[in-house]
Every structure is written in structure tokens, then in C-alpha cells.
Structure 1
Amino acid sequence: MEPHVNSATPRVAVLGGINHDTFLRVSALPQPGETVIGTGLLRALGGKAANQAIAVARSGVGAVLLGAVGDDADGARLVDSLAAASVDVGDLLRLEHVPTGRAMILVDDAGQNVIVVTPAANGQLTAAHVAGFDATIASATVLVVQGEITAATTIAAVLAAERHGVRTIVNLAPYGDLGAALPLADPLVLNEIEASQLLGRAVEGPGSTAVVAELSRVARSAVVTLGADGALVVDQTGTVRHHPAPAAATVVDTTGAGDAFVGVLAAAIACGLSLDVAVARAVQAATASIGVLGAGEYYPDFDLGLTDRREAIAG
């Protein structure tokens, strides 16, 4: 599917989770039953959809976030932070008597992490809410969804985008059964673990081209992220291409690298770039994101040659 432009400038709608994140720095991730002493604490905006929307905005492309927070102080702070990051929050819901989603993230000295998420308001989003987002989805160039809200809600949004001719990126993270959404994904984005779960076969590194080629029967196109090894791209012909990642100058925190990837990928596709060129931009952005602690509002600017393309479309 070619990029769909319903407005004067490219615009990406992102539907999904919005959380209040607490980062704890530790020298090493604890083993089961082990207590470790933290060496740093950071509270920040998070959630995959929020991070991805900010990554779109950091690329210089219009981003609108569709989701829900609670009617608590955390929710008010997150909405303010998103607006300050140039994300359109006009469609965000404030649900009464429901807390805002939370995530606890442990990050070790090597930049690796473990994450526990409590959905709260995110888990209360329904297909009825998606119906209220219909006009915003219809006016988008690209819709992005993930797996942090209920599958039924996500599928409803993807079907709405399909009705309106809007290209959809499905980020299957966390892994779950998104049923009818997968064949409509263009692309379906997974990491190695998620790809292995979906295909029932191990996906490990750039040498997994034969296994990754099977994704051509699952979605319109697919991208498997490989961390420091970049990403693999496959289209419906089954042809697999490898896009290596540049070497990271410093690894501080890998949290949010996948979200930076997806956000910049969406921005690049919305600007009319091919999937392979968009993935190359996204790999660069993911590498840049791991040089800072935290995600979302702590992302650097990702305007990787997209501004001129955006202005050309607008003109």
C-alpha cells in the first residue's frame, strides 16, 4: 500500500499505551529472590505509544496520540509532557476513577533492562473509544499500533484504518494474538523474540533470513529488529534484506530503542520514503536513542533528512 495523505502535511496517529515510568539504575539485574541496591532513580513519561509518538515528533512529522490516562496527578503531568514534546493530545481520554498506567524499569550498567507494566487506564480502552477516534484515524497518513492495550481495541483501530485507506504499522510488542490485524500490517514490526514466538522457530541475528522470509505469508511486509545488528526487512515476495546498525558511541540505556525505531519508521513512511529507506533511518534513530537514560521525552532529535521530504509533500 502506498502512503496515504489526507491532509496537507504527513501525520502519524499512534494508538496504545501511556505510562508513568520509574527507572531504577542497578549495577546488575537481580536474580529471583535477590535484593540489589539501586544507584539512580528517574521518573518519566513512558508507554510504547507515547514513546513512539514523541519519536515521530522528534523527526519533525506531525504526531497525534490516541489513548487514555487516569484522572490523577500522573495523568495530568503526562498530558502536559506530551504537549511540550509537540505531540497532539486533543484526542487523549481522561478516564474517571481509574489510575494512569505505570511501568517499573530496572536498567543495569550494560544498558540492559527488565520492565513490569501495570496497564490501568490503558486496559480500559475499548472498541467504542476507537469509534470516537475514527475521524482522526481517517485523516492520518499512517496509523501505528502495538500490543499494550486490549487486542480487540487494537484490531478495531486497524480495521478502521483499512476502511479509510490508511497504512498501518503493527508493532507486535508485547507479543499477543492480534488476529485480523496482522494480514493488514505494512509493515509488521517485531524483535527477534517476538518473531520467534509468532513463527514457532528461532530467529537469531542476520543469518535468520530463511525463517524471517516466512513473515511474507503473515503480513503485507515485515521488519525484524536485531538490536545492535540492525534489522531485517521482508516484503510479500519473500525477499529479505539486512540493514546493519551503526556502531553506538555509548550504550547508556536500551529502553525505548524499539519505540524510537518504530516512531521514526512511521515518520519516514508518512513522508513517502520506501520501506527500506525508512528502516535505514529507523536503525540510525534506535542507535542514537541508547546514548541517553530514559525514553520518550529524553529522546534526541531524529530529523534524519525527513524535513525536506515533509515540506515537499506539503508543497
Structure 2
Amino acid sequence: MSIAIIGDLCLDLAYQVTTDQAEISVETGLQTYSVLKSTPALGGACNVAVNCKTLGADRVDIYGIVGSDFFGDLLISLLHTHGIETEGVIRQEEKWATHVYHKVFEKGVEHPRFDSGNFNTPTEASIEDLVAVLRKRLSGYDAVIINEQVPRGLHSESFQKILNQVIESSSSDSGVRWFADCRKLNDMYRDTIHKLNEQEGRLLYGPSCTVSRQELALWLTRYFKQPVVLTLGPDGAIAVDESEVIHEFPGIHFAGQIDAVGAGDAFLAGLVVAVAWGASLSEAAYIGNICAGVSLKVLYECGHPTTKEIISLAEKADWRYHPEIADDERKAQYWKDTPLEIVVPSQMKGFPKVAIFDHDGTISTLRQGWEAVMEQSMLTAIAGEAYSSLSSKELQSLREDIHAFIDRTTGIQTIEQMHYLVDLVHHYGYVPKKNVLTAVQYKELYNKELLAMVDKKVNEIRAGRLDATDVTIKGSIDFLRFLSSHGTELYLASGTDVDDVKREAALLGYAEYFEDRIVGSVGDVSNDPKRLVIKQIIETQLKGVGESCVVFGDGPVEMREAKRHGLLAVGLLSDEVRRYGLNMKKRNRLVLGGADLLIPDFSHASSLSEYLGWEVK
């Protein structure tokens, strides 16, 4: 396989800095920074080239211009390190400085960037030399990628005109597939397969663009008269092929930190390499989508997906479903005149053989308020002794990051959250490395605070001042009794420690409905209890009949697991303070997690039962 990339050749220089061991400059009186680490990396078209090589292209040639400077030497050297051919790289003596992006990071926060190359102009001689090499080698390529992303780079009007002539002359007789990934010139290289993002697509459509994403992708295909791949950021991508068939690919949910830098390049490389291998456009777009997901997990540098990483992520990805419905409450569709929201119509008729329930927030509210406890616990862990010296801006930024983290990880095991917490403590760098605790130790500190809160409610129950109805979602215990009396086998699956779940279920009087089918965390991040119980039920109980099992929960984890195995997913928009009514803050993540149906609480079980064809009681 042979691929060419024509475009803007860039170099990224990332600096990790700190004020530790740094002085106030005697000459200027300004604070200096200590550089902990500086890392050069290829960017722009060069990054696309590296990705193509990593994904298995035998030969990757790159075309572009660099300056006659030290950074040009470094860029070419790095290309050679990756086995990329540079005969098409032109060294321009005048009016050109190699595109370099100096990125400075301090405790995970990026400072203003310093860019060089913003005043470049390609000479006619440089353009002629580059195109001469391209014409000589063109017939040997399976695919050619056009990259354009800097304000003043290779793509002058003169270069655009000549490159379009090359595309026109080659498309008819050589069989070379041309791809374009442009920031501002999508309308220029028309006789190519376009990969562009939603914002770029809507700009082409015009200021009055209010069409859906699917309609936009189809319009772009007809506009270019070529296949189009429209990327949607966290929501995945849409591909429209030569026959104007629309293919949709969901985005991927990540619990941990992500970095979007380079994800578009990874998508493009996966798309093109797959097409060059003979994949259809829809197959190639699926590969590109996974490649972008792999890249997102690499922090502070561009990720270069490997085949092994792509296969691994494809097997275990947590997909984001129905983003447009999730983001817009106006698109909610309700059954008859009830609060039962139908996201995906269900075909289930008759009582389920098995029903799986999440615990906290779905049945029990003993842990209501856990988010505030975790927020304070994480804040203490991350800031350490620096807490009192943080500025109000730093503290607010840290709280916002913690809020986002808790929202992303709601429903997973506490021990898994604590593993991510360890990463965050290292990431911010307020705590010396020797003082960073283990995930188990952080969990013990959090549990101590959480259980102190829970114990107060437990003591009130034992004293008779509270009963089960005061600390459970309305109608939940009656609903458990209802299903159990009709032969449905009930399972309780929670990310909370299993001993605590069993103790609380017994205290509140519903353990009997689950018998020995209560599963919780045992501190093993590789064995999530919700995943394990669903896998066990499918293998031993259902014999592949997904519709005979329903999953109830107020978090995205159980929704995703249900969706992964084709089970009916019912999301609870539960208000854990009032214990009844709607909590619309949960709607977005439940729909994205794959919920088919949504109800506020179990006082609306009669509507659910009628809709699903169960006996109404």
C-alpha cells in the first residue's frame, strides 16, 4: 500500500513547566519557569503521515515546504525516524519559517501558544519543484490525502490551481483515490472524497443552515458530487457513499481524561488506509471513528493508533447513543398522556423472565448526596497541602473538572473512580509524587466520609424515626413485589461494595425479592458487577433471547450494558432528594447511555406495564 500526503508540515514542541526551582529574573523582574520536559512531535500533514505508517501503509510519501532552519532539520529527521519518504519536502530559503507550535503546560493547564510560520508564502519555484515530484510518483499511489490547516501555508492560490489540474488529470486514468481534509478550502478541491467536521459543513451550507446532521451530510455529497464523511466531535460521524446511502457511527464515551488534539488526523488516516486496503466507505469510516477514539485517550500529544489498539477499543467501546435527542428535551416523545418517554420503541410483550436493578438512585436513596462527598474527597486529594494557597480561579477550575469527572463516571465502581483519581492527582501535580496514595487508600478515605453520612440515616431507621419509604424511590418496593409475584427473577447489581448493598437491602426490607442474586463490587476494576451479572444471565438464563430481560437504572453504565447485549433498558429520572418526580439532569446521560424508555419513578409503573403489555395492577 502506498499513500501520499500533501499539505502543511508542522512541528509541535510541548513543554511541561513549573515554578519549582525557578527564580525571579534579575534583569526583568519576571517569574521564570523550570522546564520539566520538552517533547518534539510531528503535526499537521506530518501527523497524518505517521498515523498512516503506524496503521500499516507500506510506503508513505509526504509533500510540503519547510524552512532552511533548525526546526526544518528536526522535522525532516523525525519523518525519517518514522520511515516516511521526504523527496517531496521542499526547503525554501526565503519567506518561509518552519511551522512550529510551542505549547506550554503547567500542572495540566495550557498557557498561550507561541506559533511560528504565520507569515509564510510559497514561491513559484517551490511549488513547481513539489508538483514535479508528485507527478513523477503519482501513478504509484493507492490514495492521496490533501491536508490544509494553517492560515499561511502551502495552499496559495497558485498552488490550488496547479493541484486541481493534477487531480483532474489523474482521477480519470490512474485510479488514485483523492481525499481532502481542509479547514478553509473545502470548496476548492471538489473532485475528492471530503472529510470535514459539522461546523465546516454548515458554513458551506450557509448561514440559514438548520437542517439535521443527516440532511447536511446528504446535501454535502450532492454539492461535491462525491462521497462525504462528516465528523461530529464526541457524537461520532456520518458517511454518505456514492449511492447516497447514509451510514451513522456513534461517538465513544470515556470515563477518564481525553485530549482532542490529533483525533481528526487519526480519523482521516484510519479512513484512508482502510479504503486503500479495499474497504467500503462505511467500513472505512467505522475504522476512522475508532482511530479517533484511540487518539483521544492520549494526553498532551497526538495519539498514533495501532491495529491492536483499534481492535481492543472496538470490542469494549462504550457508545454514545442518540446525542441529538439527549441534548434537546424538545425532541422527547411521550407515550399517550404520561411521563413515560419513548426513546426507542420496545417490542417486549408479557412479563420478562429476568429483571436487573441498579441499587443507589434506582431503589435506595441512602447514598443521596454522595456526589458532594466525593467532590470534597477528590478536592482534598488533588490539592493536598496546596489547597489553602490556591487562587479562587484555580479552585473554581479544579471544582469544574471534578464535577465533569463525577458526571462522566457516575455508575461505575468506586474503586475504578479512585484509579482515575490517582491519574488526576499526578496530572495536577500539587501533591509530591512520593505522597500520592493508591486507589485503595483513596477509596478508604472516601468510604469513611460516605458511610458516616449513610450511618446517620441508618440510625434514624433503627430508631423508628424513618422507614423504608423515606429512603427509597417512590413505588420501588411495590414494583419489586409486583414483578416477583409474576415469576420474574430479580437481580440487584451495584457498583457499591457488595457487603454494604446486602446489608442495606436487608435493612430496607427488599432483600427477599432478590434472594442470593445480589451482586456488588469486590474491588476488582476488571470485573464490573453490572457487566458480570448481565453476562452471566445471558449465558445461563436467556439463551440469547434478549427481550426476556429488562434492566432498570438511573446511571449510564447499566444502560450501556443493556444496550450492548440487546436487552431492554429502562432509565429512572429519579429525584433522590424528593424520592419522586422528574430529575431532568439525568436525562442526557441516560439517553446517551442507551436507555430505550425513561420514567420518573415507580409510581408510574402502571403506564410502563400497560405500554409493555404486562398486567396492570
TM-score (norm. length: structure 2)? 0.41
Number of residue pairs the alignment of both structures matches: 280
Aligned equivalents of 1:273, 1:238: Cα separation in 2: 17
Q: By how many angstroms is 1:241 displaced?
A: 1.6
Aligned equivalents of 2:66, 2:179: Cα separation in 1: 23
Q: Which residue of 2 aligns with 1:138?
A: 139
Q: Which residue of 2 aligns with 1:57?
A: 53
Gaps of 5+ in 2: 18-32, 312-617
Q: Which residue of 2 aligns with 1:176?
A: 185
Task: Answer yes or no: is the 8 Å Cα contact 2:258–2:299 preserved in 1.
Answer: yes
Q: Which residue of 1 aligns with 2:71?
A: 74
Task: Answer yes or no: is the 8 Å Cα contact 2:198–2:232 preserved in 1.
Answer: yes
User: Structure 1 108/239 Cα, relative in aligned 2: closer, same or farther at 3 Å?
Assistant: farther
Aligned equivalents of 1:140, 1:42: Cα separation in 2: 36
User: Structure 1 113/161 Cα, relative in aligned 2: closer, same or farther at 3 Å?
Assistant: farther
Q: Which has the higher contact order (CA 8 A, sep 6+)?
A: 1
User: Structure 1 156/241 Cα, relative in aligned 2: closer, same or farther at 3 Å?
Assistant: same
Aligned equivalents of 1:261, 1:51: Cα separation in 2: 12
Q: Which residue identity lines up with residue 73 of structure 1 in the other structure? A: F
Q: Which residue identity lines up with residue 80 of structure 2 in the other structure? A: A
Aligned equivalents of 2:137, 2:294: Cα separation in 1: 30
Q: Which residue of 1 aligns with 2:220?
A: 215
Q: If you compute each CA radius of gyration, which structure gives the higher value, 1 or 2? A: 2
Q: Which residue identity lines up with residue 59 of structure 1 in the other structure? A: L
Specify the SS of the correspondent of 2:86. coil
The reply on whether 1:16 has 2:7 as its aligned counterpart is yes
User: Structure 1 140/109 Cα, relative in aligned 2: closer, same or farther at 3 Å?
Assistant: farther
Task: Answer yes or no: is the 8 Å Cα contact 2:7–2:146 preserved in 1.
Answer: yes
User: Structure 1 178/254 Cα, relative in aligned 2: closer, same or farther at 3 Å?
Assistant: same
Aligned equivalents of 1:114, 1:108: Cα separation in 2: 11
Specify the SS of the correspondent of 2:87. coil
Q: Which residue of 1 aligns with 2:162?
A: 156
Deviations 1:254-307 (A, max 9, x none): 1111011111211111111111111111111111011113445x52424658xx
RMSD: 3.4
The reply on whether 1:257 has 2:255 as its aligned counterpart is no
Q: Which residue of 2 aligns with 1:266?
A: 272
TM-score (norm. length: structure 1)? 0.76
Task: Answer yes or no: is the 8 Å Cα contact 1:113–1:254 preserved in 2.
Answer: no
40, 46, 49: which one pairs with 1:44?
A: 40
Q: Which has the higher helix share?
A: 2
Q: By how many angstroms is 1:103 displaced?
A: 2.5
Aligned equivalents of 2:229, 2:85: Cα separation in 1: 27
Aligned equivalents of 2:235, 2:79: Cα separation in 1: 31
Aligned equivalents of 1:257, 1:17: Cα separation in 2: 17
Gaps of 5+ in 1: 1-9, 27-36, 306-315
Task: Answer yes or no: is the 8 Å Cα contact 2:11–2:42 preserved in 1.
Answer: yes
The reply on whether 1:293 has 2:302 as its aligned counterpart is no
